[in-house]
Amino acid sequence: MEVSKILVLIVAVAVVLAGAAAFFVLKNDGEKDREINLISGVNLEGSGMFIKSSVDIDTMIDTSDGVQYKPAGWGGKVFATPGTTSIQHILLKSVVEDKSKIGLKLLPYQVGTTLSSDTVYYIAPLASSADVLSSAIIDGGMSWQPQLERIISDDSGKFKLLALTNDMFPGHLCSVVAGNHSYTSAHQDETVRFVAAFVKATEWTANALANPGSDDYNKLIDIALEVIGWDDNERNRAEMERSFTVTYVFGENSSNPLSAIKRDIATYTDNLYAMGDILRSSLSDLGFDSTSAFVDKFVDDSYMKKALAANDSDLKTGKNANINVAVITGDIHQIAVHVAKALGYFSDYGLNVTFSYAVNGGVVAVALQNGDSNIGILGSPPIIINVINSELVKG
């Protein structure tokens, strides 16, 4: 073989090998950094259960001292939830299967099912008020605000309020902010600015709700109506005001801002394992010897600490950046992120935030996992379930 041909062959092989090496490096990097982290709280409480107006609530619960459950009133009923990994579904499952509360089975409803008194049935996903109100099958369900308020305020009178999660699970952690680690680790400054703007909006939202009738309160209702897509009229404003059964918290303004959230995430994780059929990977499979070790890796409070310590003037000096945030459609649990955009907090900090919308938290989790969204806002259970079952956080 001529020397020139040998050189061409060697070069060609080298190019192929280099390409293969690049492929494997990229693939391995992608596999290595699939991590998703929780970086902020969002809210406590804010959902509730509704039931057909023809049902006597006294046959299902006693509210004279908290919420006490009457199992006989639950058997054979069909409930709607926004999705099987949604916080609403997990909370329903927790009370139905807990022998100290209801102690019945929770199974999916299928057409033609003979309803049994030892079972509560569910249909999921069924999230929007319009879908719920059009269903001829369900007896009730659990939904987030303001969908809950719209369901129980509908002119049809089809449903009424059974109980708020505020009463069923007082002070429970609901939604959180999660970040795709591949993005947040490479864009730490942008992530800190996002968290700082979100904290500012959360505090503004909580203050507005504490002062009904104020200019800020009315502005909050304006923003909520626009986000949800309701016309601005007297009736819709009244429904939206009643929908704010939500407590907005990002965490704590302290040296350990996410300490309470870590505690609640640990409790959720233990409870999800106790249910037996939700989490497929054990913590030991992920390389953790305890729930607290998992939570310490999963919950990253570094961005929150930096955001709380930063000066407002410093936050405005960063370079402009685009951030895609996945949120749930028709949900005011996440209103603070929309407040941050509407009031210019994101733009003040050089951030152009765009939203992608999902039907439930499970879809937000997938958008984060796939890298379609940099940051997502969703319920605590769906992100825990996705992270553990997809093994996205490892010790």
Residues 102, 39 within the same domain: no
What tokens were used for 204? 């503004």
Q: Which pLDDT does position 30 carry in this prediction? A: 45
Given 110, 130, 165, the domain boundary residue is 165
The CATH code of the domain that includes 158 is 3.40.190
Q: Confirm whether 335 is domain-assigned.
A: yes
User: Would residue 241 count as lying in a domain?
Assistant: yes
Residue 105 included in any domain: yes
Q: Are residues 136 and 180 in the same domain?
A: no
Closest residue by Cα to residue 51 from 21, 30, 77, 33:
77
Burial label for 296, CB within 10 Å (0-12, 13-18, 19+), is: middle
What per-residue confidence (pLDDT) applies to 31? Answer: 54
Domain end marker among 145, 165, 185: 165
Residue 15 falls within a domain, yes or no? no
Residues 371, 297, single domain; the answer is yes
pLDDT at residue number 332: 98
Alpha carbon 261 to its chain centroid, in Å, reads 14
Report how far apart, in Å, the C-alpha atoms of 246 and of each of 1, 103, 376 are.
78, 28, 19
Domain end residue (candidates: 142, 165, 188): 165
In a shared domain, residues 138 and 186: no
Does residue 8 belong to any structural domain of this protein? no
The answer to whether residues 161 and 196 belong to one domain is: no
Distance of CA 20 to CAs 10, 29, 30, 34, 181, Å?
15, 14, 15, 22, 26
Give a yes or no: residue 23 inside a domain.
Answer: no
- SS3 track for the chain: CCHHHHHHHHHHHHHHHHHHHHHHHHHHHHHHCCCEEEEEECEECCEEEEEECCCCHHHCEECCCCCEECHHHCCCCEEECCCCCCHHHHHHHHHHHCCCCCCCEEEECCCCCCCCCCEEEEECCCCCHHHHHHCCCCCEEEEECCHHHHHHHCCCCCEEEEEEHHHHCCCCECEEEEEEHHHHHHCHHHHHHHHHHHHHHHHHHHHHHCCCCCHHHHHHHHHHHHHHCCCCCHHHHHHHHHHCCCEECCCCCCCCCCHHHHHHHHHHHHHHHHHCCCCCCCCCCCCCCCHHHHHHHHECCHHHHHHHHCCHHHHCCCCCEEEEEEEECCCHHHHHHHHHHHCCHHHHCCEEEEEEEECCHHHHHHHHHHCCCCEEEEEHHHHHHHHHHCCCCCC
- Residue 249, domain member (yes or no): yes
- Those residues whose C-beta lies under 8 Å from the C-beta of residue 273, and which sit 6 or more positions away, are 279
Residue whose tokens read 């809210």: 43
Each residue's pLDDT tens digit, 249-278: 999 999 999 999 999 999 999 999 999 999
Averages of pLDDT over runs of 10 residues in the chain (395 residues) are: 34 33 32 87 98 98 96 98 97 98 97 95 95 97 98 98 97 98 98 98 98 98 98 98 98 97 98 97 98 98 98 95 98 98 98 97 96 97 98 96
Pair 275, 369 in one domain:
yes
- pLDDT at position 22 is 29
| Whether residue 128 is found in the same domain as residue 273 | no
Range of the domain at 138: 47-165
Question: How many domains, in total, are found in the chain?
Answer: 2
